Amino acid sequence: MACVMRSIPMNTDPGTATLLRVNNLCVEYHGVHGTVRAVRDLSFELRAHECLGVVGESGCGKTQLLYALMGLNGNAAQLRGSAQYRGEELLGAAPRRLAALRGRRLAMVFQDSMGALNPYLRIGVQLCEGARAQLGLTRSAAQSRAAALLETVQIDAPALRLRQYPHELSGGMRQRVSIAMALMCEPEILLLDEPTTALDVTVQAQVLALLSELRERTGVAMIFVTHDLGVLAAIADRVAVMYAGRMVELAPAAQLYATPRHPYTAGLLHSMPRLDAPLMARLPAIPGQPPLADAADAGCAFAPRCALVHERCQTLPALRALASATSNSWVACHLTATPERIREAWT
Amino acid sequence: MSAALLEVHNLVVRYRARGRTQVAVDGVSFELGAGESLGLVGESGSGKSSIARALLRLVPASGVAQFAGSDLLQLRGAALRATREHLQIIFQDPLAALDPRMRIAEIVGEPLREFRPQLPASERRALVRSMLERVGLDAMHLDRYPHEFSGGQAQRIGIARALVLRPRLLLCDEPVASLDVSITAQIVNLLRDLKTEFGLSLLFIAHDLATVRQVCERVMVLYRGQLMEIAPREQLYSAPRHPYTRALLAAVPTPDPAHARPAALAVGEPGTVATEPGGCVFRQRCPLAAARCASEMPSLRATGSGLVACHYADP
């Protein structure tokens, strides 16, 4: 099925450069049991120095999006659309060119730090490998850069740590090492895939503080993927909400949390147990469950669970700009209900 | 508080591996009332799951655990088997907890087949069907296999299996940690409803303090196998006494960008700081730590309507 061209959330602020421009991105896997459409017609931009949060449930395509940007989907995946880094197309780029960009321009931090590190190699070797290949650093120059970065990510005794193996470090420390490794070649964009999900809440707070500090210090742009709206509130400038492979809402963080305009965003926010609100007898849960990834595009994917479902929801809603002073927010919903009406529907 | 259904005194769980002994639960005592829900929170390695496993006799433990008139830790053979009817558990990974080769009807019917063997098959099937419907699953799912279900549905099946014998105590070991955000609220609501409906006591283990607040009337906070604080919900969340409880609460991210960012009050990580015996186990990470904390282990003392193990916590 062809991806339909639609209006794209454009960078309306002339003051900042656009690092990434993703247009109508589709990621599909064709298998014997049908086609899994992991990412469906996704368009967005990432500006210099910004942190774009991407939130959604398992199977919504958020990790597949990051893989597409890094060229990690594998041979079975079919990619369509476009993803440009500073005007250069990433989809279908030559492997050599992608290898030159990875780590150097776009670097990734994975959820499972133990799985992301090679258990047979010392931390130092793994940290230096990319920098030596990409920047042509000597062994000693790479080692001292690695030691300095370990200090940046607040790991004590860096010289000792460089000689240790991944299993000798705690989960939080391994995730710090992963972040340091991603920063070795001073990338412009950090892709973070659930970087705090596997961590204890106290350690998560430490890593979030570290990431915020790194942003301030280095100005690195981030795409922060998570299922936790609470985590994104602490770090994201803008938040994109994904559901069933599509972006259903994109807005500045303050606006998205205060006045969610998509019923799914509102439903997620209202159904979360939270410590800053009075205790409720029952959580206003979203009924049902997310559709399977091979489901056809028969109208709005969220319609079967939506409290505000309407006849028009049988057709697929396009992502449209919300008429506001800044015009920086986008929603894929036929509904033109006010945020108050949406809140009432869930509570 | 209602009469205690479960009284645990000085529970100790030790694991031995390659000649080394690891103390996972280090002298924990608490009570759980009939129809009460008690939350167990703490970081990884705090001993939460070990307590649940010890009560189910899945790991060796010492101490006393009085449950309905007998000591769970002393029971053997038929007597131990008989208590399983009243003491059930649901797990963190709901799909791993279901036998992939059994149909749902068999999975949920198995406890009945074991404990009510005289029940005719037709009645058993009717009970299974009504239990599944009660947890929100359609009867058409009866003959399906676990892999055909999502995580949230599998957790509902796990709950149905645990409750089909109408136990008195349900141990919940991180029951929503692996579920999607939109499904978590459904399962939390279901557990709350079933607790009221069946008069269940819940021992609810979770690392997510916001979920625990939603489910539990009292909460106990563990660190390195020791009880740091135990208090009614209102007190623990509005006026936490122990510095560790405060650090845990401050670290919870709030879904509101205008709100302060989660604070990293406790330095370091659980399980990485070596502690010499004798003092408070939390002292290396504690913002209040003083000389006394290294020399003298704080004992539990009353604060408000709870207990706290800290020399410097407010009374």
Q: Where are the domains of chain B?
A: 4-86+167-308, 98-165
Q: How many CA atoms lie within 13 A of A326 on its CB side?
A: 10
The pLDDT value recorded for residue A7 is 45
The pLDDT value recorded for residue B1 is 45
> Beta strands B201-205 and B169-173: pairing type?
parallel
Taking the CA of residue B192 and the nearest CA in chain A, the distance in Å comes to 8
Can you tell me the mean pLDDT for B276-297?
90
CB pairs under 8 A between A and B: 149
Beta-carbon separation of A230 and B252 below 8 A: yes
The pLDDT value recorded for residue A336 is 81
Using a CB-CB cut-off of 8 Å, the residues of chain B touching A205 are 250-251, 253, 261-264
Beta-carbon separation of A272 and B210 below 8 A: yes
Are A147 and A154 a contacting pair, CB within 8 Å?
no
Q: Which of A317-331, B77-91, B273-287 has the highest mean pLDDT?
A: B77-91
Q: Is the pLDDT of residue A136 over 80?
A: yes
The Cα diameter of chain B in Å comes to 68
The pLDDT value recorded for residue B276 is 67
Question: What's chain B's average pLDDT?
Answer: 93
Q: Percentage of chain A with pLDDT > 90?
A: 77
The pLDDT value recorded for residue A324 is 66
Which residue of chain B has the CA closest to A228?
A: B181
When CB atoms are compared, the residue of A227, A230, A267 closest to B255 is A230
Q: How many CA atoms lie within 13 A of A28 on its CB side?
A: 19
Q: Percentage of chain B with pLDDT > 90?
A: 83
Q: Exposed, middle or buried by CB within 10 Å (0-12, 13-18, 19+), for B217?
A: middle
DSSP-derived 3-state class of residue B228: strand
Using a CB-CB cut-off of 8 Å, the residues of chain B touching A173 are 269, 272
Taking the CA of residue A265 and the nearest CA in chain B, the distance in Å comes to 10
When CB atoms are compared, the residue of A170, A229, A253 closest to B269 is A170
pLDDT per residue as tens digits for the range A222-263: 999 999 999 999 999 999 999 999 999 999 999 999 999 999
Question: What's chain A's average pLDDT?
Answer: 91
Please tell me if residue A171 touches chain B, with a CB cutoff of 8 Å. yes
Neighbours of A71 (CB within 10 A): 21
The pLDDT value recorded for residue A327 is 60
Are A52 and A6 a contacting pair, CB within 8 Å?
no
Beta-carbon separation of B181 and A206 below 8 A: no
Tokens 């060229």 map to which residue? A71
Neighbours of A122 (CB within 10 A): 16
- Closest by Cα among A343, A257, A318, A203 to A53: A257
Please tell me if residue A205 touches chain B, with a CB cutoff of 8 Å. yes
- Closest by Cα among B73, B76, B111, B74 to B90: B111
Phi/psi at B135 (nearest 5 deg)? -90, 5
Cα dihedral A55→A56→A58→A60 (10° resolution): -110
Please tell me the distance from the alpha carbon of residue A312 to that of residue B307, in angstroms, as a whole number: 57
Q: Is the pLDDT of residue B35 over 70?
A: yes
Please tell me the distance from the alpha carbon of residue A97 to that of residue A84, in angstroms, as a whole number: 13
When CB atoms are compared, the residue of A234, A253, A273 closest to B261 is A234
Q: Mutation test of the interface with chain B: which of A167, A168, A174, A200, choosing the one with the most B Cβ atoms within 10 A?
A: A200
- Closest by Cα among B194, B189, B122, B204 to B164: B194
Please tell me if residue A75 touches chain B, with a CB cutoff of 8 Å. no
Please tell me the distance from the alpha carbon of residue A132 to that of residue A142, in angstroms, as a whole number: 6
**Which spans in A37-187 are helix H?**
62-70, 95-101, 113-116, 123-135, 139-152, 158-162, 171-183
The pLDDT value recorded for residue A10 is 53
Of B2 and B211, the structure prediction assigns the larger pLDDT to B211
Fold observed for domain B4-86+167-308:
Rossmann fold (3.40.50)
Chain B window 68-127: which residues touch A at a Cβ cutoff of 8 Å? none
The pLDDT value recorded for residue B44 is 87
Can you tell me the mean pLDDT for B23-49?
94
Q: Mutation test of the interface with chain B: which of A202, A225, A257, A259, choosing the one with the most B Cβ atoms within 10 A?
A: A202
When CB atoms are compared, the residue of B44, B151, B182 closest to A268 is B182
Are A25 and A81 a contacting pair, CB within 8 Å?
yes
The pLDDT value recorded for residue A4 is 42
Split at pLDDT 50, 70, 90, the class of B199 is very high
Please tell me the distance from the alpha carbon of residue A297 to that of residue A294, in angstroms, as a whole number: 9
pLDDT per residue as tens digits for the range A82-124: 999 999 999 999 999 999 999 999 999 999 988 999 999 999 9
Beta-carbon separation of A205 and B262 below 8 A: yes
Please tell me if residue B261 touches chain A, with a CB cutoff of 8 Å. yes
Q: Mutation test of the interface with chain A: which of B156, B213, B256, choosing the one with the most A Cβ atoms within 10 A?
A: B256
pLDDT per residue as tens digits for the range A285-332: 999 988 887 888 889 999 999 999 999 999 999 999 886 655 689 999
Which residue of chain B has the CA closest to A288?
A: B183
- Give residues with Cβ within 8 angstroms of B107, minimum separation 6: B98, B99, B146, B157, B161
From residue A74, how far is each of A28, A99, B11 by CA, in Å?
Answer: 11, 14, 51
Split at pLDDT 50, 70, 90, the class of B275 is low
pTM, two decimal places: 0.92
The pLDDT value recorded for residue B113 is 96
Please tell me if residue B208 touches chain A, with a CB cutoff of 8 Å. yes
Please tell me if residue B248 touches chain A, with a CB cutoff of 8 Å. yes
Which residue of chain B has the CA closest to A57?
A: B180
Residues A163-174, buried b or exposed e (16+ Cβ, 10 A)? eeebeebbbbbb
The pLDDT value recorded for residue A6 is 42
The pLDDT value recorded for residue B277 is 74
Can you tell me the mean pLDDT for B83-96?
94
DSSP-derived 3-state class of residue A280: coil
Q: Is the pLDDT of residue B123 over 70?
A: yes
pLDDT per residue as tens digits for the range A45-80: 999 999 999 999 988 999 999 999 999 998 999 999
Split at pLDDT 50, 70, 90, the class of B270 is confident
Query: What is A1-48 written as a DSSP string?
Result: -PPPP--------TTS-EEEEEEEEEEEEEETTEEEEEEEEEEEEEET
Beta-carbon separation of B264 and A206 below 8 A: yes
Please tell me the distance from the alpha carbon of residue B291 to that of residue A14, in angstroms, as a whole number: 58
When CB atoms are compared, the residue of A206, A272, A305 closest to B255 is A272
The pLDDT value recorded for residue A3 is 44
Which residue of chain A has the CA closest to B261?
A: A234
Split at pLDDT 50, 70, 90, the class of B261 is confident
Q: Is the pLDDT of residue A156 over 90?
A: no
Split at pLDDT 50, 70, 90, the class of B237 is very high
Using a CB-CB cut-off of 8 Å, the residues of chain B touching A200 are 43-44, 207, 269-270
Tokens found for residue A3: 């991806």
pLDDT per residue as tens digits for the range B129-184: 999 999 999 888 999 999 999 999 999 999 999 999 999 999 999 999 989 888 99
From residue B238, how far is each of B138, B231, B241 by CA, in Å?
Answer: 41, 11, 10
Can you tell me the mean pLDDT for B227-251?
96
The pLDDT value recorded for residue A339 is 84
The pLDDT value recorded for residue A132 is 93
Dihedral sign for Cα A147, A151, A156, A161, please.
negative
